[in-house]
Chains A and B, each alone.
Chain A
Amino acid sequence: MSFAGPLRRSLIPRTSRTIASRYPCPKRRCFATATSATSEAPREPEGTKEVPMTVGDGGAGTIRPVRQRHGSDRLVFPGAVNSKFTNRLVFRQQDPSKAIDTYRVMDTEGQIIDETHGIDFDNMKEQTLKMYSSMVTVSIMDQIMYDSQRQGRISFYIVNAGEEGIAVGSAAALGEHDTIYAQYREAGVLMYRGYTLDEFMAQCFSNCKDHGKGRNMPIHYSSKKLNFHPISSTLATQLPHASGAGYALKMERTPACAVTYFGEGAASEGDFHAALNIAATRGCPTLFVCRNNGYAISTPTLEQYKGDGIASRGVGYGIDTIRVDGNDTWAVYKVTKEARELAISQQKPVLIEAMSYRVSHHSTSDDSFAYRARVEVEDWKRRDNPITRLRKFMELRNWWDQEKDTQLRQQLRKDVLKAFNNAEREKKPAISKLWEDTYDKPTKDQQSQMQEMKDILERYGEEYDLEGYEGGKNGVVPKR
């Protein structure tokens, strides 16, 4: 075998790591290949081993014997290595007056609160306009698509109102090789990364240009090109995927991280626990971005958890955690940038809790006024909004004015409607796509089932709506 023995890693975080600049990395040194440097490590004599300490080192900790000093104020329990004894019986409690702080860069008027934010705004005019434009595009697309669902032109939609800043602010801080595993209310991430309006529309209309070949419900986007994994409806399942993808990046020595988005409701799923714990123990460069918008459909957060939000949990997993104002796009940007830096340089996960308010209904299948007062929503809309805040920020710098805004919105509306109309006219994918991609190759059973369907369509074609599908009834091709 040309594969040498174990790679020894010290507990000291690697500072000068050999990383190739491109993915996939041609010189992955993390995968053990035969090098003279990795020879057999000397074997420890039996009986001197203790449980490996794996402090954010992904389980490759050093193993050293522990000696207990007489009269010590603590025992080294393997399960809690640095816990002192106490003779005061006190149950630990959360102090409700000391919730974790919410990080902010600018106030609701777009004013920078403190100049120590470390963002080079002067050189970011272009990027700021791109961020603003992405957010506005999402909100305009949302309005049009919401109405189109109401007219029965698409089957379903979910808007992003009030949370555009979280998606766009974080996306602006990421690199192109950072892999995204999203929930469903993060259209701004795709918009900022360059997903085209045609791509959004193709997906919602399930036409032949849809990356998902018309199989998924609307808003379940995916993009290989943009490193954005296909969205699934199952809540929180993507969290452990992001841990595993982070580990893959670590093994490749790719200087990038995996990023996953989820709501505060999804954080109640077991997958949240599984994902954060394994990311911490394996030292995965993964960013967990929680959108805490106050509601999971009709369930308010006071029925979702009793602790201090989601952020308070991160610390319990040994994960660096921060809470941020989700309506402050700059705060989200800054926090994501720092978190990314931390995750990649120290090879460990970071948890970000972005606070916001779900201004919209949960989806087109939900009337949120059945469980919350209209006045509460209106109040929120008036009080704070990520798009308005960023616009005020730009106006204060004379980067933006009412005229530019009106122009931009008119143009975007035209663009969205054009893409909308084009997408609506496209054919649906061929019926064969119902079977394809279940496996890498169709099974024999699938072949014969396609043949069965073909036969049915031959004999009962008029009973089916075949018109809109590529190839019509001839679109079933049982190919070997």
Chain B
Amino acid sequence: MIFQTILLIALGILMLSILANMYRVVKGPSGADRVQALDSIGINMIASIAAYSVLFHTHAFFDLILLIGILSFIGTIAFARFIERGVVIERKR
């Protein structure tokens, strides 16, 4: 009972963290601030899914944790290349 209460408090704190990152996404001065805030939102989603898995006594979401990590990594690299060079995939050297 007390353990579930602690998990719910942790989920509320993660929700507040995602909301703070959403403020930075909406009101970032440059594009790089928005990209870093979106990457941080992905990491907070990973932590939220882990807390939910402990709360529901299931291990069906563990693949989803690794998959969100991979997709967040690739998306951040693509956005960084677009900001720096204007071309995501180079055609010729």
- On whether the two chains bind one another, the answer is no
